[in-house]
Amino acid sequence: MAMRKIAVVLAATGLGLAACGQSSGGGNGDTIELTITQNAIAGGKNAAAAGFVANWVIPKFEAAQKAKGKDVKVKFVPSGVDDEQYKTKLSLDLKSGKGADVIDIDGIWAGEFAQAGYIKPLADVVGPEAESWDGWSQIPESVQGLATYEGKKYALPIGTDGRVLYFNKTLFGKAGLPADWQPKSWQEIIDAGTKLKSSGVPVPIQINAGTAMGEATSMQGVLPLLAGAGGQVQQDGKWTGASQALKDALGLYQKIYGGGLGDPKLQQEAKGRDKSFQQFAEGKIGILMEGDYFWRGVVNPKDGVAPMDDRDQNVGYALIPAIEPGKGIRGQDFVSMSGGALRTVNPNSKHPKEAFELLAFTLSPEALKEETKDGNVRITPRTDVNKEILAGQPLLTFISEKVLPLTAYRPPVAVYPQVSVALQEATAAVVGGTAPDQAAADYQKKLEGIVGGAGNIAS
């Protein structure tokens, strides 16, 4: 263990970066010091979440602990970077035996973090109280599955989400398109894009592509399209290679970016996703495929990163259609992808029981209702809370009622993130001018190296 720590520190030093972590200090006397981290920061990424933890969770939790006779001090460790950078920082923290006591991770990292020993089953870290937490009964089994790895619960799920096609109703009106637009095939998306282009919209369609966008390319790009063409990245234990579904998905990219309906440069820029958010808010993008985070954290008039004062009137949303009706996965007409974040206790925590209390407190009905006040609504993991807070929230009700029943999840295995990068590279190639068939063949070749040979691939 000690050698591993030395190895990590030296590797980071040798590679020019130092691991910078925060650890829970023992504190003086009887004071228990806890830290909680999320990829959220005041005035920046996920500002509402950062503000909620700092201004509500911490004082309330500290007061509640004081009432129980415990002196607990909690510190929020903010972060406002790309998800990939957050993951790297977290990995280095955990590898060197540090990190905040309570940490948020993307559900898809659970497998590789568990395999590395960075996170451990909650029962092992905290004790039986983690299993007997009263909130579990309110969390649907599918959502619990996000936090489960090899049959053991590693975290509490924070919630789930879904993906849709957002569109700008003003631009649609100018192009003669309906305000209640709902395409039923990919061709209808292309047709709408063509009309938007004719009416002078600079970027008719924006579907994430390329490696600069990171996992956003997979979740809000190639994976929903793959599902719409009837494919899944992994099915029955085999990985999907250069299948017809993948070629179809890449073919749609070619139609959009090769046909002048999308901006290929936007897909290549280091901050392309942020820029696309800004451009949508400025009325330069007609159609954008995104998750409900876009509605909550980006164009949210209150504290989005690219706020739209007229969001509720001007931003429309539609289900993502299959390539043709009935041709999506499971024979569906419409498709989506869902993810979910997790919140867990750092196995390095000196106070795992108190850390779990803090974690559970953030997911108490009281906290979730408070967090989702004033338009900061999101789909929480708890059905008892969702019923109440989603009322009067058309987009989230739409996702909860119409999208979640037809959604799909990424394979919860450690190797997925590498497969995802290969998919991002395939889309980058197509946006850069490579033929879809060639990009699909190159993807399959890379996939063989990642998943352990052609025997694990179905074409």
Partner 1 sequence: MAQAISPPEVLDDKAPGRDRYSSDAAGLGRLRAGVFVAPALLLIAAFLVFPALWVLYLGLTNYRLTGAAAAEPRFVGLDNFLDAIANPTFWNSTWLTVQFVLGSAVIGQVVLGFTIAWLLRDRRGPLKRLVEGLVILAWILPSAVVSFLWVALLDRDGGTLNALLGIPGFPWLLDHPMLSIIIFNTWRGTAFSMMLYGAALGNVPPSHLESARLAGASGWQQLRDVVFPHIRGHILTNLLLISLWTFNDFSPFLLTAGGPDGRSEVLAVHVYKVALQSGELGYGAAVSTIILLINLVVAVFYLRLLRSKK
Binding site for partner 1 (CB under 8 A): 6-7, 10-11, 13-17, 84, 88, 91-92, 95, 109, 111-113, 115-118, 210-212, 265, 268-270, 275, 414-415, 417-418, 421, 428-429, 432
Minimum distance from CB of 62 to partner 1 (Å)?
A: 33
Q: How far is the CB of 433 from partner 1 (least distance, A)?
A: 10
Residue 92 or 175 with smaller CB distance to partner 1? 92
Residue among 212 and 233 whose Cβ is closer to partner 1: 212
Q: Say which amino acid occupies 250.
A: L
Closest of 19, 93, 146 to residue 346, by C-alpha:
93
Nearer to partner 1, 107 or 321 (CB): 107
- Indicate the residue among 115 and 459 with the shorter CB distance to partner 1: 115
CA distance 314 to 288: 14
In whole angstroms, the minimum distance from the beta carbon of 18 to partner 1 comes to 11
Nearer to partner 1, 165 or 261 (CB): 261
CB 9, min distance to partner 1, A: 9
CA distance 292 to 166: 10
Residues sharing a CB contact under 8 Å with residue 352, sequence separation 6 or more, in sequence order: 101, 125, 126, 127, 345
By C-beta, is 17 or 179 nearer to partner 1? 17
Among residues 284 and 351, whose Cβ is nearest to partner 1?
A: 284
Give whole-number Cα distances, 287 to 47, 113, 183, 189, 284, in Å.
Answer: 25, 35, 11, 9, 10
From the CB of 355, what's the least distance to partner 1, in Å? 22
- Residue 14 or 392 with smaller CB distance to partner 1: 14
Q: Report in angstroms how near the CB of residue 316 gets to partner 1 at its nearest.
A: 25
What's the closest the beta carbon of residue 269 comes to partner 1, in angstroms? Answer: 6
Closest CB 211 distance from partner 1, rounded Å: 7
Q: How far is the CB of 45 from partner 1 (least distance, A)?
A: 17
Strands 148-149 and 152-153: antiparallel
| 254 versus 268: smaller Cβ distance to partner 1 | 268
